[in-house]
Amino acid sequence: MSSLRDVNPRVRGIRTPVDLQGLAARITEQLSQGEKKSFKDVIDVSSGDSHSAGMKPVTFLRQVLAVCLYPQLLRDERFPSDVRLRAQRLLEACDGESVGSYADSSGLLHIRQRISEFITKRDAGVPASSRNIFVSSGAQRAQMVVVKLLSTEEGQTPAGVLTPLPCPHTLPALLDEAGVMSVSYLLEEERQWAVDLKELRRALTACRGRCLPRAIYICNPGNPTGHVQDRKLIREVIKFAAAEKLLLLVDEVYQDSVYAQNQEFISYKKVLFEMGPVFRENVELVSFHSLSCACVAECGLRAGFMEVINMDPEVTHFVDTLLCTDISTPVTGQLALDLMLHPPRPGDPSYDTHAQETGFVHATLIQNAERALKVLNDLPGMRCQPAMGGIYLYPCLLLPEEMRQEAETMGLEADVWYRLKLQEEEGLVVGAGGAAGSHHLRLSILVPADTLEEVLSRLSSFHLRLMNLKTEERHKKRHVFTPHVPIEDGMSPKLNNHLSENI
């Protein structure tokens, strides 16, 4: 390609947030070269990669995968007997009894059957079929497959998907890549980020004429908000989707991380099948789950799955067709899905260790959520709703007009400006916000407790220092702040100029 003009316009139009990872890498390099700063390392709590943040892998899962990767270990009695037995069964499900073999594009039949068993048990007997299960290289890949099926041809009125605001930070780019319009419906912050039916209707009405609304995207538990929906709300959303003939896309990847008192995860499928035949036989539903979820958090193994309900078989054929473009999901990831969904049972040699490790993850989430919420809400100019589940807190920044104007001079949203300064001064990487008309941060709380304390200490120190600066001092400091970050194409011209002058 000789120039940017040769790049597909759809690709050029993909929305991406200002990339601050370049700054984080630059600061890490400076520290490694002995440059003195007020902090000793960079801490990244912007994503859900809990292993990189210091959380330990689940032993049972890693042991079984180790044996599958090196079958000679099947005879090694240092591994518990249930580990070796599970590894043997998983290897028998692979062609040639090797994880190095290909699998069907929709996933190994054994794994899809095991996923259907998990869903049936989770939903108190509501049946699931392996024919409706599709394994993919992560939940995001599965979502892309379905969204592509919804998209229209170039030049036609685009398809639209109702999406929550705030939403998962990867969703806008995914819809852009597929050529599908995002139709935002605002979540109610003062009700702990609940879905509001009036807002759904408003968003749907407002988008008509601009796109063809085809689906509604739901996060339960909310990402990044942590809201957990109850049975009543789920029923209302299903009725709304049925009345408007919308496909329900339900992101349920944090279903195992509900920790608020008197809250429980209820799947959309379970509620759908509790409703009358008009709903359970006609409402189209696709639900997503992922190996990157809170308990095992094996983000790097890249595996997830979707279950399709009431979809035309001629359409599901093309789900498989699109998955074929990946050839197959990594086999090790598929095997890990089985281990996540079917852990050791009471009486198994690995049960006690597994229960302790997963219990520790949940206890860490509860402790960290309570601790971080208190600290954040004690900071002036910041407020945060409690989370019921998931792995993030999503505080709101109430920055003075002066700071917002300073951000504007750099061509930045105020929360991006805040994050830049936070990285430069404290070596702390937090995620972007994205709620309309306000500024928020995204903080992963699935980190070791001592790491969280360091995060909260750095954030509090920075925030109090920033908020306590007098107007005159703040203006002086404006010319001192020089983020050492390579110039990025995705940054605004004003920010590029600012960085060019100071690097």
What's the distance, CA 370 to chain centroid?
A: 21
Q: Which of 100, 63, 20 is nearest to 427 (CA)?
A: 20
The whole-number average pLDDT for the span 174-188 is 94
Q: Do the beta carbons of residue 195 and residue 233 sit within 8 Å?
A: yes
Q: Name the pLDDT band for 325 (thresholds 50, 70, 90).
A: confident
pLDDT tens for residues 456-470?
Answer: 999 999 999 999 864
What's the confidence (pLDDT) of residue 354?
97
Rounded to an integer, the average pLDDT of 180-194 is 96
The arithmetic mean of pLDDT across residues 193-197, rounded, is 97
Residue range 411-425: average pLDDT? Answer: 92
pLDDT tens for 366-379 read: 999 999 999 999 99
Give the least confident one: 34-48, 330-344, 361-375: 34-48
CB-CB neighbours of 208 under 10 Å: 11
pLDDT for residue 227 is more than 90 = yes
Mean of pLDDT values over 38-45? 94
**CA-based end-to-end distance of the chain:** 30
Fold of 7-55+357-502: Aspartate Aminotransferase, domain 1 (3.90.1150)
Q: Distance between CA 285 and CA 280 in Å, rounded?
A: 10
Per-residue pLDDT for 429 more than 70? yes
Q: Say if residue 483's pLDDT is above 50.
A: no
8 pLDDT tier (thresholds 50, 70, 90): low
393/430 Cα distance (integer angstroms): 11
pLDDT in tens, 90-133: 999 999 999 999 999 899 999 999 999 999 999 999 999 999 99
Q: What is the pLDDT of residue 431?
A: 92
Residues forming beta bridges with residue 98, ordered by sequence position: none
Q: What angle do CA 398, 402, 407 make, to 5 degrees?
A: 85
Contacts of 501 (CB under 8 A, 6+ apart): none
Task: Considering the chain, tell me which residue range(s) the CATH 3.90.1150.10 domain(s) occupy.
Answer: 7-55+357-502
| pLDDT above 50 (res 86) | yes
Which residues lie below 8 Å from residue 56, measured CB to CB, with a gap of 6+?
Answer: 357
Both structure tokens of 276 = 């009358």
Q: How confident is the model at residue 318 (pLDDT cuts 50, 70, 90)?
A: confident
In this prediction, residues 151-162 reach a mean pLDDT of: 90
Round to whole Å and give the CA distance between 81 and 75.
Answer: 10
Closest alpha carbon to 338 in 126, 133, 147, 78: 133
| β-pair partners for 248 | 216, 285
pLDDT of 174 strictly over 80: yes
Mean pLDDT on 17-30: 79
- Average pLDDT on 154-180 reads 92
% of the chain exceeding 90 in pLDDT: 74
Q: Minimum mean pLDDT among 55-69, 361-375, 420-434: which range?
A: 420-434
pLDDT greater at residue 495 or residue 220: 220
Return the CATH fold of 104-341: Aspartate Aminotransferase; domain 2 (3.40.640)
Strand-strand pairing, 382-383 and 392-393: unpaired
Amino acid at 399: L
Mean pLDDT for the chain?
Answer: 89
Cα R_g (the chain), whole angstroms: 24
Residues of the chain with CATH 3.40.640.10: 104-341
Q: Model's pTM, two decimal places?
A: 0.89
Q: Looking at residue 471, what is its pLDDT?
A: 42
Query: What is residue 154's predicted lDDT score, i.e. its pLDDT?
Result: 80
Instruction: List strand residue ranges (DSSP E) for 353-478, in order.
Output: 382-383, 392-393, 396-397, 428-429, 439-440, 443-444
pLDDT for 280-296, tens place per residue?
Answer: 999 999 999 999 987 89
Residue 484 pLDDT exceeds 50: no
Q: How far is CA 313 from the centre of its chain?
A: 29
Q: What is the DSSP string of 67-100?
A: HHHSGGGGG-TTS-HHHHHHHHHHHHTSGGG-TT
